[in-house]
Every structure is written in C-alpha cells, then in structure tokens.
Amino acid sequence: MTTGREDRMPGGQAKHVVPALHIPDAVRVGVIAGMDEHELWLQGHLMACEGCRAPLIALLLGRTAVKVARPAEIPCAKARSLMFRYLEGGAHPDDATFAHITSCDLCDDLFFEPAQAVILREYEPEHVGEVD
C-alpha cells in the first residue's frame, strides 16, 4: 500500500508525479467503491481515450487462453484496484484478477466492455456474438 499521490500540497506546489495518468483519484476510489457516477465516467473515458484503452486491449488479446469459467474468489474492489494499477503502468493483473474482471458482469462492464465496444466499432468483425 502506498499513501497515494499528494495532488494538493499545502505549499501550493503541484507535483507531477504521474503525468500519463488520466484517471483522477476520485474516480478511481469511486469505481473501487462501486459508485455509479464514477463508473460511468470511467466507461466514457475508456471509450474516448486510446491511451487508457490500449493496455486493456493488449490484456484481452494476450490473455484469451485463461479459463474464465468461474469468478475468482477475490472481491470486486480488489480486482478493480489491481486493474487501475495496471492501467497506470503497473504490473499486469494476475490470472485471478483477469478471471474476475472477465467473469464478473459488473467489472467486465467497466473495463473490457468499453474497450471491446470500440474494437467492434473499428473493425466490424463478421463473427460477433460469441458468448462464453
């Protein structure tokens, strides 16, 4: 656990620690807590932002072999937290996290659905409709 970034220092000096990070801490915390407004923001952002979408697509393409028959036994909050860490350039999520995100309707909607929606829109594959 880290204490997170200090965006507003008392001295007024903004620290640009993670300039590539588009997702505000408030959204991140809100999504982990399951708050609708923040989940909507994240979905919208992933649809619009290629920089944040790219790691998700890379993950989807690289992990197709993982079996997702059953949700892994980790809570949504933990899986979401690890996904955010990955989006920020951290370690790839482990299999349990990936399995959770892909098998949990709520989490899948948040991360992979927006990315996949964009892929489908861009490439228009002939054989969509594969459901588990």
**What is the contact surface with Zn ion in residues (CB under 5 A)?**
22, 49, 51-52, 76, 104, 106-107
Q: How far is the CB of 64 from Zn ion (least distance, A)?
A: 20
Say if CB 110 and CB 31 are below 8 A apart.
Answer: yes
Dihedral, 11, 12, 17, 18 alpha carbons, nearest 10: 150
Of 33 and 128, the one with the shorter C-beta distance to Zn ion is: 33
Direct distance between the N- and C-terminal alpha carbons of the chain, in angstroms, rounded to an integer: 35
Least separation, in Å, of the C-beta of 103 and Zn ion?
8
Pick 32 or 107: Cβ nearer Zn ion: 107
The two three-digit tokens of residue 47, written as one number: 């649809």
Nearer to Zn ion, 35 or 49 (CB): 49
CA atoms within 13 A on the CB side of 59: 27
For the CB of residue 79, give the shortest distance to Zn ion in the complex, in Å.
Answer: 6
* Closest to Zn ion by CB, 51 or 125: 51
